[in-house]
Amino acid sequence: MQGSGQIIRVIIVSFLIALFLGPVVIPVLKRLKVGQSIREEGPKSHYSKSGTPTMGGIIILLAALIAIATSGYYTQEIWAVMFFIFGFGFIGFLDDYIKVVLKRNLGLRAYQKILGQVVFAVLLALYGSKYSVNGTKLVIPFANAVIDLGVLYIPFVVFVILGTVNAVNLTDGLDGLNTGVTLIVMATFSLITNSLRDTNAIYGGIAIVSAAVTGACLGFLRHNANPAKVFMGDTGSLALGGAVSAVAVLSNMVLLIPIIGGIYFAEALSVIIQVLHYKRTKRRIFKMAPLHHHFEMCGWKETKVVGVFWIVTVILAFIGIYSI
């Protein structure tokens, strides 16, 4: 119960900090005129969102950091996860800063963004191979077993990290969508790792930092839910992708990401399918990619798409919990 009490306290603290940071940070972002640009080819219903402050991911980062710093629970794995959250978040911050402050529409060039992600992905994979719960072994969902990847661990995990970070980024396209989905995913990781904390102390640290991100997302959702007062930007979406990746790697539950993070997987897959099919046939399978925009173009209201995706994530979370 002590572990559960710590988790609840961290969630509450990070939630309250994110809740109260909104009225402080959002006016500052407005004064800096860091407004979101809306794609002309996007759904027409999004045009009204033009100028909404972005880079709100700063709120999530600060809330999680302060909650951890005041938790009194400091372990190596906690600070390792926070390092990678801020590392990927920094790449997103640079991209946002160049786009909305320096007014360069493309932000970081694609190769620059990927290079930065590769650096942190390799560092995370190397760290995981030495300091995760089971080294180069990965938990196999539903099998009650692990598989040792050995020399294949680094390249496989780097691939998963890059895929996860960019899939989480793609999921950030509707008010509250990415925030809510990641809230559920991180809460699930916190529950699973907390239930295993007696088997290895590392799980306890992972549960705490997962709880901090969960609470931060919950507080940020108050400002990001439809109609959004602020967007997280790449600052937030890449940071959250780093959070999901880091807790999965250090808990050796990388293979759990496609299950509880099924929405991320579907969003990324829809883009890949769309691009490959269009290059071959000059025709589109989806009315628009990522997948959430397809449903919007089919006539679904934005709030319905978000609600359905949240519900699907909750169902997948229960499946993920059952699989361990």
Q: Alpha-carbon distance 225 to 43, whole Å?
A: 18
Q: 48 Cβ partners below 8 Å, 6+ apart? A: none
Per-residue pLDDT at 171 exceeds 60: yes
Asked whether the predicted pLDDT for residue 3 surpasses 90, the reply is no
Q: Is the residue at 305 inside a domain?
A: no
What average pLDDT does range 251-256 have in this prediction? 97
Q: Please enumerate, as own/partner, the contacts of 192-197 that have beta carbons within 8 Å and a separation of 24 or more.
A: 192/251, 192/253, 192/256, 192/320, 192/321, 192/324, 193/247, 193/251, 194/3, 194/4, 194/7, 197/3
Q: What is the pLDDT of residues 220-229, one digit of tens each?
A: 999 999 999 9
**pLDDT for 304 beyond 60:** yes
- The residue ranges of DSSP E strands in the chain, in sequence order, are 137-140, 145-148
Q: What is the pLDDT of residues 226-247, one digit of tens each?
A: 999 999 999 999 999 999 999 9
Q: Whose CA is closest to 135, among 179, 200, 183?
A: 200
Six token digits for residue 4: 């559960």
- Contact by Cβ (8 Å): 121, 158: yes
**2 pLDDT more than 70:** no
Mean pLDDT of 27-47: 71
Condensed to tens digits (0 to 9), the pLDDT of residues 51-83 reads 799 999 999 999 999 999 999 888 999 999 999
Mean pLDDT of the chain: 93
pLDDT of residue 104: 72
Length of the chain: 324
255 pLDDT more than 90: yes
Say whether pLDDT at 1 is over 50: no
Answer whether residue 149 is part of any domain.
Answer: yes
pLDDT at 158 over 80: yes
- Per-residue b/e over 86-95, b at no fewer than 16 CB within 10 Å? bbbbbbbbbb
pLDDT of residue 155 exceeding 80: yes
| pLDDT of the residue at 194 | 95
Q: Percent of the chain having pLDDT more than 90?
A: 85
User: Sorting pLDDT into bands at 50, 70 and 90, what band is 108?
Assistant: confident
The arithmetic mean of pLDDT across residues 265-273, rounded, is: 97
User: What pTM does this model have?
Assistant: 0.94
Residue 191 inside a domain? The answer is yes
Q: The domain containing residue 236 runs over which residues?
A: 2-136+144-252
* pLDDT score, position 107: 78
Is 169 annotated among the ligand-binding residues? yes
Average confidence (pLDDT) over 92-104: 86
Q: Which residue has the higher pLDDT, 92 or 43?
A: 92
pLDDT at 175 > cutoff 90: yes
Q: Is residue 24 part of a domain?
A: yes
Lowest mean pLDDT: which of 31-45, 154-168, 292-306?
A: 31-45
Instruction: Work out how many domains the chain is built from and give that number.
Output: 1
In a domain, 126, yes or no: yes
Query: Does residue 303 lie within any of the structural domains?
Result: no
125 in Cβ contact with 153 (< 8 Å): yes
**For helices 110-131 and 153-170, angle between their N-to-C axes, nearest 10 degrees:** 130
Q: Within a domain: residue 261?
A: no
**What is the reported pLDDT for 39?**
58
Percent of the chain with pLDDT over 70: 95
The answer to whether residue 119 is domain-embedded is yes
